[in-house]
Amino acid sequence: QVQLLESGGGLVQPGGSLRLSCAVSGRAFTGLTMAWFRQPPGKDREFVAAVKRSTNSMSYKNSLKGRFTISRDNAKNTLYLQMNSLEPDDTAVYYCAATVRSLNTSSLAGEKEYEYWGQGTQVTVSS
């Protein structure tokens, strides 16, 4: 069983930065395709970014490219999300997700593709 534990959320002013972490245990980290999703208040959960397990190639929600960066440290079994130039619309609960499957690029954004989820960490962007 894979366990995912997010951290790093909090309150930040517009224009600020945060780095979220997702500590992974229970399975070899290198064998997992990893992703970040978020759920803004009153809205559905949406894809943020993903990194493939084999090639480490990355995929992003188009509107977040250039501000958000996903990365993984296989030695630390940890997934990261660096978020810069944060805006109030980035306010959401951010979730880490994992699958043992190797996904096609077109499938990375699919919420149903991931069988393991963290509990989420709150990010609030407000002055």
| Whether 4 contacts 24, CB under 8 Å | yes
At 2-28, the pLDDT tens digits run 999 999 999 999 999 999 999 999 989
Torsion of the alpha carbons at 35, 70, 86 and 11, rounded to the nearest 10: 70
pLDDT at res. 54: 76
Are the beta carbons of 35 and 114 closer than 8 angstroms?
A: yes
Q: Which residues of the chain have pLDDT under 50?
A: none
Give SS3 for 3. Answer: strand
The residue assigned the tokens 């090639």 is: 55
C-alpha count within 13 angstroms, C-beta hemisphere, residue 82: 8
Cα 23 → chain centroid? 11
